[in-house]
A = this chain, B = another copy of it.
Amino acid sequence: MADALKIGIAGLGTVGSSLVRILGERANELARTCGRPITITAVSARDKSRDRGVDLSAIQWFDSAVDMANSADIDVFVELMGGAEGAADQSVRAALSRGLHVVTANKALLARCGVELAVMAEDKGALLNYEAAVAGGIPVIKALRESLTGNTVSRVYGIMNGTCNYILTRMEKEGLSFEACLKEAQRLGYAEADPTFDIEGNDTAHKLAILTTLAFGTQIAADEIYLEGISNISIEDIQAAADLGYRIKLLGVALRTDTGIEQRVHPTMVPHDSVIAQVDGVTNAVAIESDILGELLMVGPGAGGNATASAVLGDIADIAKSRPGAQRVPVLGNPAASLAPYTRAQMQSHEGGYFIRLTVLDRAGVFADVATRMADNGISLESIVQRAKGSEADSGSKTIILVTHATTEQSIRKAVDAIKSGTYLAGEPQVIRIERPKAF
């Protein structure tokens, strides 16, 4: 049997501790499958005294991840600290400069400087694996980076934030408000005390930026993403969507257009009978549409210590199965030096269907005016529904719901502006984009 693969783990939170435990418990199976033992020779974390439920006594301890990356006797540096800058960034760079392989779960770091790190890795013939950085345990990086080699991807989209999907699912199933479901998610540990990063879509955006690069062979452009969170979604939207045969999900979507790459994260209506519409709770799902394979959808746990540790373990095993300097998987699917510049498609030219919900005063002529504004902007309608519920009828207002056929963002904005210039709106219009899976 070949020499052991020596691992150093930086960061001993939930994922790091799970990984240490699993590498111990499964040592024999892993050695058999990989053809060599996998041994943890070094770890680093802030607080040595904390009890993590795993025995670290035989492993060299570093207080500093950078020191470990610079000096530990390891083949693979596993970065599980998180954070786009600071120690995570410095230690990964230090490891790559030594030619060590790196495994990381750090989406923020990759979204910020993944191309730079990929260039470093490829220059040194080192592997940089990051399956856990996107959609936790779902092997979407491997699918895009390896399985789809040779395919031209046209669209990639998915539910990549469990917190948002949990909240939207509970709102729909139980008719509760966004605020109530957020509190429940916090109580259950599915949402942070400050949930902004999740519910405003930033977390999804980091993941999407990585998928975009893999799918389209362009530079990473995490700052070029149109962003809209779910805090504005009301139970009325969800119910109206359900009535029309749709469900609302927070999707990250990237697609190739004639004018560039469109990247957006926003609440999205998907047809109720599509497979992705059934993905509930904290579960994640990623769909990839490509020209040779067709459509592929992967569903699984997007977070959690074990699921994430499983993805990290798969990355480590891939390195263990290769022999030194032998495997050359381009970090970002294409060689980092050959990635094309990122050209952002104009959001105004986004084409698709739209759902629009208007709260209007109960006056004659309003319905006709709304329909006219749509027609003026060349927007054709799939359906237009007017209704008044109990409380609305009392207050003298009613709801108009429109679903449009494919049109452009620009046309919708013009039409909505025209509607807003009227005098009959009793609240801010709600506009939700519709996304249709191609095959299922």
Interface residues of A (CB under 8 A from B): 22, 26, 29-30, 32-35, 131, 137-139, 142-143, 146-151, 273-275, 277-281, 283, 290, 292-301, 304, 306-307, 309-311, 313-314, 317-318, 321-323, 325-330, 333-335, 338, 439-440
Contacts and interface: CB of A to CB of B under 8 A. Distances in A.
A31 to B, nearest CB: 11
Contacts of A148: 310, 314
Contact of A33 (B22, B137, B278, B333): B333
Contacts of A334: 32-33
From A26, A318, A326, residue with most partner B Cβ within 10 Å? A326
B298 A34 contact: no
A280 B437 CA distance: 13
B149 A440 contact: no
A281 B294 CA distance: 15
A294 B29 CA distance: 19
Contacts of A309: 292
A338 B31 CA distance: 12
B306 A295 contact: no
Given A33-B149, A439-B283, A294 B307 contact: yes
A290 B138 CA distance: 12
Chain A interface mostly helix, strand, loop or mixed?
mixed
Contact of A147 (B280, B301, B311, B325): B311
Nearest to A290: B310
A134 to B, nearest CB: 13
Nearest to A317: B149
Contact of A150 (B296, B313, B321, B330): B313
A35 B290 CA distance: 22
Contacts of A333: 33
A328 B297 CA distance: 28
A100 to B, nearest CB: 18
A139 B142 contact: yes
B306 A292 contact: yes
Contacts of A150: 22, 26, 29-30, 33, 310, 313-314, 317
Given A292-B22, A294-B306, A314-B148, A329 B321 contact: yes
